[in-house]
Structure 1
Amino acid sequence: MALPVREQIKYWGAAAAVFFVLLYALGDQLLPFFLGAAIAYFLDPVADWLEAHGCSRAVATAIITITAIIVFVLLVLLVIPTLVQQAVALFNAAPEIARNVGTFLAEKFPSLLDEGSTIRKSIDGLGQTISERGGQLLNSALTSAASLINIIVLFVIVPVVAVYMLLDWDRMVARVDTLLPRDHAPVIRRLAREIDATLAGFIRGMGTVCLILGTYYAITLMLVGLQFGLVVGFVAGLLTFIPYVGALVGGALAIGLALFQFWGEWAWIAAVAGIFMIGQVAEGNVLTPKLVGESVGLHPVWLILALTVFGALFGFVGMLVAVPLAASLGVFVRFLIDQYQDSRLYQGLEAENRDAKTGTDD
């Protein structure tokens, strides 16, 4: 005999409360495990594809691991040092950029930037603050002993967790399936498939889109000679995960830097703007439809709200779990809406009359 609905709600509510308490109390300690699980989930289709082409799960995991190590070494040797160097240089150049902004506005709109005006003080202060605090923060984060230890722990634990979870992913899923409540197993499996489809479409799809666009922006901006092009491309690609934000922030940053670097050389400024226009056309017409799909059930506003709330409550770990939780909640909300629309509460007397008529016809 199944438990009453009230009892089920009590047990599941207690389980959810325990999960959030643990997430709040142990967020920093759980970060490597969440990252490892996210990497394993992202790479599971690759392992499945290799299995389908004759590899065992162990061999597939080994191939993926060796490839990841090679890519990581290349990034460490070729990309990351340049990225850090450009990021520090961008922070240090902030006062000069702010002065250039002030000079430009003073020439075009002299009444706005009189000596001692609020706007002029704000621009000068912003550039000085970014230079002092931003570069100091970045250098401190890269050089402090605690940060280095945390980074080393991440680089050691996350790959190990990812490899083990990738190796045992299918067995873990099968084990969880055996623990499902028998009365509700079919419904839970259906909801899990919908959640997986949403996550696969968004996380795997958008992750691939971010990687492609970030690489494209970084390479093309560096080829046209834009200073800090690698940093701008990295930021634009990373923020592409949040719909529309990556293009707006990256485009504004790149065009703003191009205006001061190439002022008067309008062809180069147009080239920078054209790079982002091509990127957006490719994202909207090719990358997102092919890799993400037309409907993944995650509205941009819902995603931004989830990232903001969970990030404020649980820090970086909260941002990691925000997307899967947002996808899960979206699936549950749609399921509850479907149940409500099929219920007598929604249909009312119309459903009773229809049922009575059907019974009479029978």
Structure 2
Amino acid sequence: MALPIRDQLKYWGIAAAVFLVAFWFLGNVLVPFLMGAAIAYFLDPVADRLERIGLSRTMATAVITIIALLTFVVLALLVVPTLVNQTTSLIETAPKLTRDFTDFLIQRFPSLLDEGSTLRTSLTSLGATIQERGGQVLKTALASFASILNIILLFVIVPVVSVYLLLDWDRMVASVDELLPREHAPTIRRLAREIDKTLASFVRGMGTVCLVLGTYYAIALMAVGLQFGLVVGAIAGLVTFIPYLGALIGGALAIGLALFQFWGDWVSIGLVAGIFVLGQVIEGNFLTPKLVGNSVGLHPVWLLLALSVFGTLFGFVGMLIAVPVAAAIGVIARFAVEQYQHSLLYKGSDAPPSPRQDLP
């Protein structure tokens, strides 16, 4: 005999409350484990594919680990120092760029920047603010990552957790499936498959798109001689998961820097603009349809709301779980709407009955 709905809601409500309280107090401790789980989830299809070609799970995990270590060493030796140096230089030169921009406007639009005007005051303070705040943020981040504890968490615990979870991923999924309430197991499996499909499309697909586009932008911008091409490419690739925002922010930043660096050299400025136009063509016609698909189920506004809410409530660890939770809530909401549209509450008592899947 199944438990009454009221008792089920009570027990599940207590379990959810305990989970949230534990998550609230242990959030910082859970960061490396959540990051490790995210990496393992991202790489699980690669391990499955290696298994299909004849490797054991242990060998597949070993191959992925070796490739990941080699990639990390290359990034640590070649890319990260250049990225940090360019970011520091960009912050330090922000006041000069602001002054140059102000002089440019004064020469061509003198009436807009009269002495003491609001626009001129804002532009004057903008560069100093970026330098002051940007430098503080960069120094804080570098100091944080340079601490012994963070080095251990990021460079030891996260890879170890990722390897163990990747090795045992299929067994863990099977164990969780065995613990599902038998009465609700079919519905939970269906929702879990839909959540996994949404996450796979967004996290794996968009993560790959961001990586490819960020690499393309960085290499192409450095190839045409833009001073801060690596930083601009990294920023554009990082925010590509929000449609058009990556190209808009990266393009505006790159073209703005190109105007100062290549003023009068319209060919170089045109090349910088063309890089972002070509990037949008590649993303819209090849990368996103191939890697993400047409129906992801995560609207950009819903994603931004989830990141803001969970980031405010739980800090950095909240931002780590924002995307999975947003995907789960979206799938459950669509399931609830489907159940509602098959119910008497929606159709009315006079509507003919129709086959449906009852809500457990």
TM-score, structure 1 normalization: 0.95
Distance 1:146-1:87 versus aligned 2 partners, 3 A rule = closer
Counterparts of 1:141-220 in structure 2, within 5 Å, are: 141-143=141-143, 147-220=147-220
Using the alignment, how far apart are the partners of 2:64 and 2:27 within structure 1? 28
Structure 1: give runs of 5+ residues left out of the alignment: 357-362
Are 1:318 and 2:318 an aligned pair?
A: yes
Contact 1:224 1:271 in 2 (8 A): yes
Aligned to 1:27: 27
Are 1:231 and 2:260 an aligned pair?
A: no
Contact 1:236 1:249 in 2 (8 A): yes
Q: Percent identity?
A: 70
Q: How far is the alpha carbon of 1:19 from its aligned partner?
A: 2.3
Using the alignment, how far apart are the partners of 1:74 and 1:340 within structure 2? 53
* 1:263 partner letter: W
Q: How far is the alpha carbon of 1:180 from its aligned partner?
A: 0.1
Contact 2:145 2:151 in 1 (8 A): no
* 1:339 partner letter: Q
Q: How far is the alpha carbon of 1:122 from its aligned partner?
A: 1.2
Aligned to 2:357: none
Equivalent pairs counted in the alignment come to 354
Using the alignment, how far apart are the partners of 1:124 and 1:117 within structure 2? 11
SS in 2 for 1:350: coil
Using the alignment, how far apart are the partners of 2:212 and 2:227 within structure 1? 21
Using the alignment, how far apart are the partners of 2:145 and 2:298 within structure 1? 39
TM-score, structure 2 normalization: 0.95
Using the alignment, how far apart are the partners of 1:48 and 1:144 within structure 2? 36
Counterparts of 1:1-362 in structure 2, within 5 Å, are: 1-143=1-143, 147-351=147-351, 354-355=352-353
* 1:176 partner letter: V
SS in 1 for 2:290: helix
* 1:195 partner letter: I
Distance 1:2-1:161 versus aligned 2 partners, 3 A rule = same
Contact 1:141 1:147 in 2 (8 A): no
Using the alignment, how far apart are the partners of 2:134 and 2:290 within structure 1? 38
Using the alignment, how far apart are the partners of 1:144 and 1:3 within structure 2? 50
Using the alignment, how far apart are the partners of 2:23 and 2:246 within structure 1? 28
Contact 1:221 1:233 in 2 (8 A): yes
Using the alignment, how far apart are the partners of 2:339 and 2:277 within structure 1? 44
Q: How far is the alpha carbon of 1:355 from its aligned partner?
A: 4.5
Q: How far is the alpha carbon of 1:138 from its aligned partner?
A: 1.1
Contact 2:214 2:234 in 1 (8 A): yes
Distance 1:8-1:58 versus aligned 2 partners, 3 A rule = same
Q: Identify which range, 265-274 or 131-140, moves more after superposition.
A: 131-140
Contact 2:144 2:150 in 1 (8 A): no
Using the alignment, how far apart are the partners of 2:305 and 2:328 within structure 1? 14
Using the alignment, how far apart are the partners of 1:175 and 1:355 within structure 2? 38
Tell me the alpha carbon deviations over residues 287-329 of structure 1, each in whole angstroms, 9 at most, x when there is no partner: 0111001001111111111111111111111111000000000
Q: How far is the alpha carbon of 1:133 from its aligned partner?
A: 2.6
Using the alignment, how far apart are the partners of 2:18 and 2:245 within structure 1? 34
Using the alignment, how far apart are the partners of 1:276 and 1:226 within structure 2? 13
* 1:66 partner letter: I
Distance 1:355-1:238 versus aligned 2 partners, 3 A rule = closer
